[in-house]
Chains A and B, each alone.
Chain A
């Protein structure tokens, strides 16, 4: 005999009472089940999205002035970091990228890519005048030379430390813009092995 058929044999007031009790008990369990289901769906999806697709970060410091943080400590720029573009470790000269700091693995630094593997760069303040970037490494520099802790201090960085590609400035609203991958002409590599996909070196 089905549940519905059984219910129809119980007198009406008792049926309402039973349905009320079942509803109040079921309310708590239903809420708990919905919460668990939502939690185990939403948290992994959100974490995967922030790790693999895109996330947002605030820029601190003056090493990328005037492109980022021109106002100094008054207003920090908030940038959109795109992980998806660097999933195959393909970067171009002039890209602004964020990477894990080679000196402090807890910190992320944001710099511009100056040279790719195989290029010979003329350094500013490095112990060698000319450096050839080894295979699987890149040379990064901040736009504000002299106030930047970059490859001129720690040498070429491995591509495995690459974190994301900064594509847009999101905050403050008057500084909404797309960050261009432009390399200042005085920082072009002296000799390059790889041709970049857009523009000429």
Chain B
């Protein structure tokens, strides 16, 4: 709340300063309240348009950076322990996805197949064409699955506590958003 008040006061001071400068330059044309009204309106409109313009410009640059270069993400959940703990900060880059350079063993961020608005963070176990062992170690009969074309097989490092491709099947490559390359250790 105090930050908004400071911003409001600073904008007001800028506007008053602007009006004063304008009045000094243009001299007095007509009654004082008319020139004040004119310059205040022009000043406020000009400032608003410039602010909106800068906001749009920075938002577009931020979108391009997050979409094509990479960004910082906070991971939550226990499915990648001990590699990534709950609420760890990681850096993800999107260049590998665009140049199709995702390898086996990479940790990737992907859109969840059952909920497109949320993201999942898993390790790539198999690429297309690979044979994946899908039976548990305790099973006597081993079952295999082949990863179809255009898909990847994702598994979390914490196998006991991870909902991954063993549950919802192979994930299409188009759902992958980026590859994690750096983790900031908090503790």
Contacts and interface: CB of A to CB of B under 8 A. Distances in A.
A160 B112 contact: yes
Contacts of B115: 135-136
B78 interface: no
Interface of B: 56-57, 59-61, 63-64, 67, 100, 111-117, 148-151, 172-175
A45 interface: yes
A44 B61 contact: yes
Nearest 10 pairs of A and B residues by beta carbon: A100-B174, A160-B111, A160-B116, A136-B114, A44-B60, A48-B60, A105-B173, A159-B116, A103-B150, A102-B172
A158 B116 contact: yes
A201 interface: no
Contact of A45 (B56, B111, B151): B56
Nearest to A46: B60
Interface residues on A, range: 20 to 34
A88 B115 CA distance: 11
Interface string A35-61: 000001101110111011000000000
A48 B172 contact: no
A104 interface: yes
Interface in A83-106: 88-89, 100-106
Contact of A158 (B61, B148, B150, B172): B172
Nearest to A52: B63
A17 B57 CA distance: 40
